[in-house]
Structures are given as C-alpha cells and as structure tokens.
C-alpha cells in the first residue's frame, strides 16, 4: 500500500515491538502501552516544584502531565525464552479498568513479533506491582503463560500477596495492589522459584536485590559475549527527573528513602561499568546508556536495530 498526499491521513501505526542482538542472545522489546500518571508534582511529591518544572521544560516535556512507557523485554538465550515482567494485563476488572483501554497490549505485540505466550519458559519479575505482574492471568484466572515458571523475590511475594496487609485507610488503588498480586500469582504457586541476591536464573542472567521501590525489587544483569545489559524494572521511572535528581521520591515507592539510596548506588555502578540499560518506563524501547552529568546523569538512547549485520 502506498501513501500519497491527501486530506485523509493514514491512521495505521507501527508495530509495538523491536528486536536487537545482545551477544549470542536475541532480545525483543514489546510495549504494553502508556501509563498516564497525571501531574508530575503529585507523582514526585518531595521534588522542588520550580526545579521539577524547569527540568521538564528544558527537556521539551509537558509540566502538567506525565506518561510512562511499559517496555517488556524478552530474551532468547538459545536454550530458554525469558519474559521480564508482564505489563498490566488484560483483566477487565483490574488491568484495563485501572489503567485504560490503551494498555494491556503486551501479548498482542508479542504475537506481532512472532512470539506466542505458550513459548515462554520463564517469567522473571522485577517486582509484583500492577504494571509488572498483572499480566499473568486472564479474566478467568487462567495462566496466560501455561508453560512458564515464575522467578521472583520471596520478599515481594510475601508482602504483596498477603491480603492481611491491606489497611482500611488505604486507597482502593493501593488495596488493588494486593488483590491483583494475589490473583495473578496464585495460579502459579507450584512453579514459583524464589530468587536470591546474586543468583543466576539461567547461565548469563543474574539477579540483584534492589529493595526500596518494593520490598523485594530485583534487577537482572544479562551478559553474553562480553556485553552486559541491565534490566532494571522500576529502579528509575523517568529519563530526566530521576536521572538528574536520583534522590527524589516517586509516589508509589514502598520506602522512598531506601529506593533513592538504592537508585544512587546502582546508577553509579551501571555508569562506571558502561553497561547498557533496558529501562521499563523510559521512552520506547527504553534501551540506552548513562553518562554522568554533575550530580545526575544524562540518558543516551541506543539506536533501534533495523537490520542484522
């Protein structure tokens, strides 16, 4: 189909996936859709308002609202196909109802990329927040990844699936954090592997405990043929605000002080090591490097790989 200049615009958009090589591993990133979080001043509650607005303006970003991508990584090691996090899911009462009809696109985009959900061997979770684990089951509590085992920290499962942790004073959204984690993880209870700090989940992929944003938040160091990519989940939510000011709190941090301390430490490690990053919430596909700039960092996106060498 050719497109010519006309009053009628072409409405078809590009597919929501991309693929790249990482050493001997083949990696695919699919989008689960944008999360619209509202005013940045609410999302980063301890930030200096004037500095926050100035950082956004200088980055040509709006100051009245903030949107975060959901970049879901799949790694084919040649032996295992590993999915890192799941997005908000397709459940009408939780994922789609909570986050809107333009989310929950991960499985459709996986299929567009030639990957069927039945082919997934491992689902490695960075943590069990809604936009990371609510895509494990369908509306009938059936497994969406029937042949996969789940890799996750025990601390996150113990906290977020324990419905006794729900308090009457919590917002409905925070209560849903617990209901949703319980609902999505329960069908997999017999195939959950609890990961320890520093443990390999498969050869070349190692977990590191990074608590703070969530009690058992975990990042994954993915190494092949001398190349290292760090899949960091929610270590850092924004490519400007939390890189320039890694000490700022994020609204949904479990322990904002611990999250900031962990972020400062890990960003320093990644930048000094010149490792590549796959960031869950940075602009799609969320792959790039860090460069130190004063007390913070600049984000240097990697080019999208359009053809194989």
Q: Is residue 212 part of a domain?
A: yes
Q: Is residue 22 part of a domain?
A: yes
Residue 106: both structure tokens together: 């991960």
Neighbours of 268 (CB within 10 A): 14
pLDDT per residue over 96-105, tens digit each? Answer: 888 988 899 9
Range 168-176 contact pairs with CB under 8 angstroms and sequence separation of 24 or more? 173/98, 176/94, 176/98, 176/130
Q: Is residue 53 part of a domain?
A: no
pTM for the model:
0.94
Neighbours of 16 (CB within 10 A): 20
- Contact assessment for residue 76 and residue 204, using Cβ atoms and an 8 Å cutoff: no
Q: 5 falls in which pLDDT band (50, 70, 90)?
A: low
Q: Check whether 1 has a pLDDT greater than 50.
A: no
Q: Is residue 4 part of a domain?
A: no
pLDDT mean over 53-69? 96
Q: Is residue 204 part of a domain?
A: yes
Q: Check whether 32 has a pLDDT greater than 60.
A: yes
pLDDT per residue over 149-174, tens digit each? Answer: 999 999 999 999 999 999 999 999 99
Give the domain range for residue 177: 17-34+67-301
pLDDT of residue 38: 87
1 contacts: CB under 8 Å, gap ≥ 6: none
Q: What percent of the chain has pLDDT over 90?
A: 88
Q: Is residue 239 part of a domain?
A: yes
Q: Is residue 253 part of a domain?
A: yes
pLDDT mean over 31-52? 93
Q: What is the CATH number of the domain that holds 98?
A: 3.60.15.10
CB-based burial label for 173 (10 Å; 0-12, 13-18, 19+): exposed
pLDDT per residue over 170-206, tens digit each? Answer: 999 999 999 999 999 999 999 999 999 999 999 999 9
Q: 244 falls in which pLDDT band (50, 70, 90)?
A: very high
Domain count for the chain, please give it.
Answer: 1
């Amino acid at each position: 189909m050719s497109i010519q200049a006309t009053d009628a615009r072409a409405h078809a958009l590009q597919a929501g996936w991309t693929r790249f090589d990482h050493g001997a591993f083949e990696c695919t990133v699919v989008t689960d859709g944008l999360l619209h979080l509202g005013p940045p001043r609410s999302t980063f509650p301890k930030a200096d308002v004037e500095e926050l607005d100035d950082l956004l303006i200088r980055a040509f970003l709006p100051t009245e609202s903030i949107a975060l991508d959901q970049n879901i990584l799949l790694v084919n090691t040649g032996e295992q196909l590993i999915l890192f996090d799941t997005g908000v899911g397709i459940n009408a009462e939780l994922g789609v109802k909570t986050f809107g009809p333009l989310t929950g696109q991960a499985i459709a985009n996986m299929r567009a990329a030639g990957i069927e959900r039945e082919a997934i061997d491992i689902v490695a979770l960075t943590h069990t927040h809604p936009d990371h684990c609510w895509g494990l089951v369908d509306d009938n509590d059936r497994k969406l990844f029937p042949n996969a085992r789940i890799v996750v920290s025990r601390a996150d499962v113990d906290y977020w699936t324990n419905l006794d942790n729900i308090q009457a004073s919590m917002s409905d959204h925070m209560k849903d954090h617990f209901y949703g984690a319980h609902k999505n993880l329960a069908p997999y209870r017999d195939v959950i592997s609890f990961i320890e700090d520093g443990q390999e989940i498969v050869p070349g992929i190692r977990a590191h405990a990074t608590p703070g944003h969530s009690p058992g938040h975990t990042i994954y160091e993915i190494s092949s043929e001398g190349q290292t990519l760090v899949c960091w989940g929610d270590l850092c939510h924004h490519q400007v605000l939390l890189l320039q000011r890694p000490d700022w709190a994020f609204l949904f941090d479990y322990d904002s002080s611990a999250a900031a301390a962990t972020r400062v430490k890990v960003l320093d490690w990644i930048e000094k090591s010149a490792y590549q990053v796959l960031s869950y919430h940075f602009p799609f596909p969320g792959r790039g490097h860090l460069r130190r700039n004063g007390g913070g960092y600049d984000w240097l996106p990697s080019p999208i790989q359009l053809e194989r060498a």
